[in-house]
Every structure is written in structure tokens, then in C-alpha cells.
Structure 1
Amino acid sequence: MSIKVLYFASLRETLGYSHETLTLPAGVATLGDLRSHLARRGGVWESLGEGRNVRAAINQEMVGAEVAVADRDEIAFFPPVTGG
């Protein structure tokens, strides 16, 4: 399964990537699984780990960790944003 992952705002700065295309290994089926998989890279990638304040969207729709990831999905990660 191949997906595109986008990183926004301070996550993009922290990770040093704005996007990447990933082929997911077996066992990565949900958004939560994907976050855990990315966080296991270690170092700055731990900023995507469980319990971190990160929002996510699949195909431009805000979703929770339990939502399944499908082939060719576009997943976006970003920190909560405030405005004013």
C-alpha cells in the first residue's frame, strides 16, 4: 500500500520534510498505526508519537486514530493552530 504523507507548520520544520511517499509495511492499517510507525523512526520523529498534540486528516477530512488508511490516501499531520 502506497500513501502520500504531508507535514505542516512546526512539524514540517521539526521533521525537515514537507511530504513523503511511503509504502506501508504489514500491520499498519489505521492512522494510529501510521503515527506509531513514523514515531518509531526515533529522534525528531517521536513528535508524532502517541499522546503528542498532533491533528491529522485523510484526504482532507479530519479523522481520529482508529480510521483505516487505504492505498493512495493522502495523510496530513499538523499541530493544532490558533488564530486571532
Structure 2
Amino acid sequence: MGTPYDYTSVMHYSRTVFTTVYGKATLTPIPDPDVPIGQIQGLSPTDILRIKKLYECCEYTLHSALLFSLTALGTACKTPEYNMVTTPE
């Protein structure tokens, strides 16, 4: 999808997954064995970018008036129900 490998993706296993010895690493990232891998806190920035690319969404959360303008110009998400719209504060 044109994005770098994402060690922090919610889809990435943790370093100790499948271990039979508590705390022993079963996965070691290459080329940097010290890079953090796996997490369960939420989507990583690359996860979000890949989702937006997959669903052909725009890069930004849009105010409804701006979304209307972009839709009229044909530059909003290709699948309208995937547009994210904010409400005025």
C-alpha cells in the first residue's frame, strides 16, 4: 500500500507471543532488534493511513460545510459513507 513496515500496528504480534517460557522473546525485528513491536493501545498512524487508502478516504476529518464543497468538486472520499464529518463547535 506504499507505506513502511509498521512494527507498532495493532495487527503485529508482540515480542513474546507463542513463548513457552514467560518473558522469552519469540520474535526479533530485523534489522533493529531493539525496535518496539506490537501494542494494544489503539491504531497506529500507519494503521489509520492504510485504512484510509483501502477505503479511498481523504486525509482529513472534514467540517460538514467543507465536505459538501469537496463532494461537489469530486475531491472527497470516493465512497461517501466513509467521509468523516465534524460538527461545528
Tell which has more relative contact order, 1 or 2 (C-alpha 8 A, sep 6+): 1
TM-score when scaled to structure 2?
A: 0.22
TM-score when scaled to structure 1?
A: 0.22
Larger of the two Rg values belongs to structure: 2
Higher strand share: 1
